[in-house]
Amino acid sequence: MNIKQLQILDAVVRFGSYRKAAAHLRCSQSTITFQLKNLENSLGCFLFEKAGRHMVLTPAGRTALKEAQKILASHSVLMNLKGSKSSLTGRLRVGVNETLLEFMLIDVIKEFRLLAPEVFFEVEILDAYRLRSKVKDSGVDIGITFNMGDYPPPLIPLPLTACPLGLFASPTLEISESCFFLPGSVPELSVIAASVKSGPYGFFKRFLDRRGIRLGKTMQVGNMHIVKALLESGLGVSYMPKACVEKELAEGSLVEVPTGLGKIDLGLLLLKNANKEESAAASLLSKMIRTKLLDPNLRTTDFFERTCLMKRKFE
C-alpha cells in the first residue's frame, strides 16, 4: 500500500469514474485498475462492487476511503511544511455561513491554527449570495457555503455533503400528527428563524403557502442559540439543518416534527475561483475541510438540483 494508491481511491470516488480519475491524475485507466487491484490485495478486501451499471463502494471500501482521506490529509500537511513549522505564512481569507462555522467547522479551524500558526487567518461571515460574489471577485480565498445551484465560471463548486433539514420543536408543545400534512390547517404556532432571508425559512414558508397552512407571526431573532432557546421554551417551531440541533435531539429537549415535505437535504460545498492562484495555506485548509466533511457516498450526479432549495419542487 502506498500514497499513490490512496490518491487513486480518493480520486475515483470523488470524480465518479476511472476515466475521470485517470484524467485528473494524468495517468491511464489501466494504471487506475492495476493500482486499485494492488490496494485490494494489500487490504485483503474488495473496495468496489457493481450496482446496476455503476461501481459503488463496499462497506469495507467506505471504511478504507475514510481512513485513506485522513492519511492523505496528513501527507499533505507534511509536504506543505517541508520541515519548517513556519513555512506557511501570509494571509488567508475565508468566507463562510455563520451556521456552518459554528456547528461544523470549529474543529477544522482549531486544527488548522495548530498547523499554521504564522498564517493571518481571517473569517468573514456571509450569506450564500454575498459569499458567491466575494469568491468570484477574489474578496476571499475560499468559501464554505450552502448550495445555491448556479455557479458560472470562474467559480468552481466542490460538493462536500448533503445536510438533512427538519422542523423542530419542544416535546411539550402539542402538535397534531396531521398539522403539517393537511391543506388549509391553521395551527396556533409561530415560526422562529434566525433570519427570514435564510434558505430553509424561505423554503418552508413556500411549502406552507402552497398547502394553505397558516401559522402565527414569524419571530426573527438573529441568532441560532436564541432560536433553540425559544424552541425549548415551547414558543414555536423552526425549520433548519438537523446538524444545528443534534445535541438537543439527543438530550430530548427538542424533537423533530413530521411534515408533508418528506426528506429534504441542503447541499454543502467548497467554493473556489479558477482564476485565483491558490496559496499553500488555502490548499491545506481545503484539504482539511474535505477530510472532515466530504461524504464518500454523496450522490453527485444531480447534487446541484437535488440539494438547492430554490430549485427543489414540491410534490
CATH of the domain at 21: 1.10.10.10
102 is in which domain, residue-wise?
Answer: 91-160+265-301
Q: Which residues of 91-116 are buried (b: 16+ CB within 10 A; e: fewer)?
A: ebbbbbbbbbbbbbbeebbebbeebb
CA dihedral 245, 144, 149, 165 (to 10 degrees): -10
Confidence (pLDDT) at 84: 46
Confidence (pLDDT) at 82: 54
* Residue 86 included in any domain: no
Q: Identify which of 202, 199, 181 has the alpha carbon closest to the alpha carbon of residue 261.
A: 181
* Residue 308 included in any domain: no
Which residues, given as ranges, of the chain have pLDDT below 50?
A: 83-86
Confidence (pLDDT) at 49: 86
Confidence (pLDDT) at 81: 56
Dihedrals phi, psi of 149, to nearest 5 degrees = 95, -40
Confidence (pLDDT) at 243: 94
Confidence (pLDDT) at 4: 87
User: Facing residues of 102 across strands?
Assistant: none
Confidence (pLDDT) at 20: 87
Dihedrals phi, psi of 116, to nearest 5 degrees = -135, 65
* Residue 296 included in any domain: yes
Read off the pLDDT of residues 29-51 as tens digits, 9 standing for 90 and up: 888 898 899 998 888 898 888 88
Look at the chain and report how many structural domains it folds into. Answer: 3
* Residue 180 included in any domain: yes
* Residue 310 included in any domain: no
Q: Identify which of 309, 65, 124 has the alpha carbon closest to the alpha carbon of residue 199.
A: 309
Final residue belonging to a domain, choices 32, 54, 81:
81
Taking the chain, what is the end-to-end CA distance rounded to the nearest angstrom? 48
